[in-house]
Amino acid sequence: MQNWTGSAAGAAVMPDGSIERFGPNDAVFALASITKLYTAMAALVAHEEGTLDLDDPFDEAGFSAADLLAHSAGIAPDEQRSLAPPAARRIYSTAAYDILADRITDRAGMPFDRYAAEAVARPLGMTRWRLEGSAGAGASGSVDDVLALLRAWQAPILVDERTRARAVTPHHPTLDGVLPGYGRQSPNPWGLGPEIRGQKSPHWTSPNNDPATFGHFGRIGTVAWVDPGTRTSLIALSDQEFGPWAIDAWPLLSTDVLNSASD
């Protein structure tokens, strides 16, 4: 990370549970689409408490909450309108997360940001986390906040293990689609919130990452993944907009972390 321009901070969790830290882990960064991991966890909590059913169709639209989370609802990237039937192809959509947040708001009887804070941020001790604006891209937080969130994705801390396991398993696993910044992927597996690495190439993780690796990256220059095969995780936050630098740097950093984990 020393070669990245701008501000940057990160942490790698090793197989023995130790944490190697880089930069100020309490500094707050805009997180862009890493926000989706937070909103998705709130949706899983809502499902378990009966506020939201992951599989019930949304009225005449035909898509479910699970489809919205996995970008298989056919919703346009940045507009709340349909481009394709549900489960036809993977269309990466931030607007889908806002549709989901609106449904949780209606069912819970409180604004989504408050619901998610009570369901996720406070129980996990995410003290610097804030959600303002889009439920798909509007969060800010620190490395320590994202570490806490990843722990809840790795283990059944907030939801039952069956729910967590379902969420990190590809939903409609054979769907093709475009991975933003990396082109068309066939297939393009996605869980209920986290992207699943699978056999995608090119990709923002390392070629050495386990195919079951899951996580997310953000357009503002943020990345977070969990590799279940090696029990290793990586978080790297920056204020440098996504671009060619990230396409080169993120896989290299991921490879370095995996090599350190195997030493």
Q: What is the per-residue pLDDT across 157-192, written as a single tens digit (0 to 9) for each? A: 999 999 999 999 999 999 999 999 999 999 999 999
Mean pLDDT throughout 70-79? 97
Region 229-253: mean pLDDT is 94
Which residues make beta-bridge pairs with 139? 32, 131
Look at residue 139 and give its three-state secondary structure.
Answer: strand
Task: Identify the CA nearest to 141 among candidates 195, 218, 80, 201.
Answer: 218
Q: Which CATH architecture has domain 8-262?
A: 3-Layer(aba) Sandwich (3.40)
Q: Give the confidence band of 61 by pLDDT, cuts at 50, 70, 90.
A: confident
Distance CA 107, CA 171 (A): 24
Rg for the chain, CA atoms, rounded: 17
Residue 96 has pLDDT above 60, yes or no: yes
- Beta-carbon contacts of 190 under 8 Å, excluding residues fewer than 6 positions away, are 70, 71, 72, 90, 170, 171, 175, 196
CA 100 to chain centre: 15
Contacts of 161 (CB under 8 A, 6+ apart): none
Q: Give the span between the Cα atoms of 26 and 70, in whole angstroms.
A: 30
Is the bond into 86 cis (omega within 30 degrees of 0)?
no
Is it the case that residue 2 has pLDDT exceeding 60? no
| Total number of residues shown for the chain | 263
Cα separation of 260 and 236, whole Å?
16
Burial label for 14, CB within 10 Å (0-12, 13-18, 19+), is: middle
**Residue carrying structure tokens 């499902």:** 47
CB atoms within 10 A of CB 175: 21
What does the pLDDT look like over 129-157, one tens digit per residue?
999 999 999 999 999 999 999 999 999 99
